[in-house]
Amino acid sequence: MKIVVCVKYVPDAAAHRKFNADYTVDRVGVDGMLSELDEYAVEEALKIRDADESGEAQVAVLTMGPDIARAAILKSLQMGADSGVHIIDEAIHGSDSVATSLVLAEAVKRQGAEIVLCGMASTDGSMSVIPAMLAERLGMPQVTFASEVTVEGDTVRVRRDGDAATEIIEATTPLVLSVTDQANEPRYPSFKGIMAAKKKPVEELTLADLGIAEGDVGLEASWTRVEAYAERPPRSAGTIVTDEDGAGADQLVEFLAAQKFI
């Protein structure tokens, strides 16, 4: 069984994230990392691989992004993935979700996969649409936002905690699966894992390798256009009181009443 995990390199949420002059997200000028939510996808893939009785299951991680995005692959390999694929091409810069899903789908086809695993959202864009778009493009069933996954032969069963109900969903491979941060507890790379990662194969591919025309991706090919952006003005400093002799509750209620919440 082959499992392909899509992992994204994202700017650190704790750093000051910003935009480039062309309105794209600055991925180079700020500290970045493997998206934390994709660690859950890598972990789930490793669990499925290790439970596979044939012993022949393989986990490949796939990322699309600039040179430094390789760090996302490396971290996944350190956790225990077997190989990496890095799609790197100047023309990709500025791609939206539609173009990103096109590139990832072609790369998945080239690899072949019984299970395509994704995170529930990227921590920068947070659109949560790539897995659905991938399923659409690959013509595979989608089982997304899984909080619990069981694989038995070619049947995948997941629990999805939705807005109004909890659902159990079943599908057969090949399929696209995404997991939430409830699904598992991602492992930390061990020293052994870190050493082993250095020897694992990472393949670099360009758009040409995937048979994708440059004009189909990137900022120009985007089906949406950012017209403007503005940094949110800092909130004006609020009133802070210290609760002494129970006065805090009085002041809180006064404030809420003045704002007509009570």
Partner 1 sequence: MSEILVLVDHVEGAVRKTTAELLTIARRLGEPAAVFFGSEIDTAREALKHYGAERIYVLDSADLTDHLVAPKAEALAQLVETQQPAAVLISSNAEGKEIAGRLSIKTSSGLITDAVDVQAGDGGVTTTQSVFAGGYTVTSTVTKGTPIVTVKPNAVTPQPTEGAAAEEAVDVEISAAAKTARIVERRQRAATGRPELNEAAIVVSGGRGTGGDFDAVEAFADALGAAVGASRAAVDAGWYPHAYQVGQTGKTVSPQLYVAAGISGAIQHRAGMQTSKTIVAINKDAESPIFELVDFGVVGDLHRVLKSATEKALARRS
Ligand X SMILES: Nc1ncnc2c1ncn2[C@@H]1O[C@H](COP(=O)(O)O)[C@@H](O)[C@H]1O
Ligand Y SMILES: Cc1cc2nc3c(=O)[nH]c(=O)nc-3n(C[C@H](O)[C@H](O)[C@H](O)COP(=O)(O)OP(=O)(O)OC[C@H]3O[C@@H](n4cnc5c(N)ncnc54)[C@H](O)[C@@H]3O)c2cc1C
Q: Which spans of this chain sit near ligand X (rule: CB under 6 A)?
A: 6-8, 35, 37-38, 41, 62-65, 97, 100, 104, 118-119, 121-122, 125-131
Query: In this complex, which beta carbon is closest to partner 1, that of residue 74 or of residue 183?
Result: 183
If contact means CB under 5 to 8 A according to the sort of partner, which of ligand X, partner 1, ligand Y, none does residue 6 touch?
ligand X
- Contact status, residue 184 vs residue 47, Cβ threshold 8 Å: yes
Taking the complex as a whole, the smallest distance from the CB of residue 198 to partner 1 amounts, in Å, to: 32
Question: By CB under 8 A, what part of segment 97-136 binds partner 1?
Answer: 97-98, 101, 120-121, 123-124, 126-133, 135-136
Which residue, 140, 151, 203, is CA-closest to 179?
A: 151
Size of the site for ligand Y (CB under 6 A): 3
Query: In this complex, which beta carbon is closest to partner 1, that of residue 198 or of residue 260?
Result: 260
Should residue 27 be labelled a site residue for partner 1 when binding is judged by CB under 8 A? no
Which residue, 161, 153, 82, is CA-closest to 120?
A: 161
DSSP code of 189? Answer: P
Size of the site for partner 1 (CB under 8 A): 80
Please tell me the distance from the alpha carbon of residue 65 to that of residue 72, in angstroms, as a whole number. 10
Taking the complex as a whole, the smallest distance from the CB of residue 8 to ligand X amounts, in Å, to: 4
Query: In this complex, which beta carbon is closest to ligand Y, that of residue 65 or of residue 186?
Result: 186
Should residue 54 be labelled a site residue for partner 1 when binding is judged by CB under 8 A? no
Should residue 136 be labelled a site residue for ligand Y when binding is judged by CB under 6 A? no
CA atoms within 13 A on the CB side of 155: 5
List all residues 6 or more positions away from 2 whose beta carbon is below 8 Å from its beta carbon.
57, 58, 60, 111, 112, 113, 114, 115
Please tell me the distance from the alpha carbon of residue 34 to that of residue 172, in angstroms, as a whole number. 29
Pairing type for strands 58-64 and 32-34 reads unpaired
- Which positions touch ligand Y (CB under 6 A)? 36-37, 181
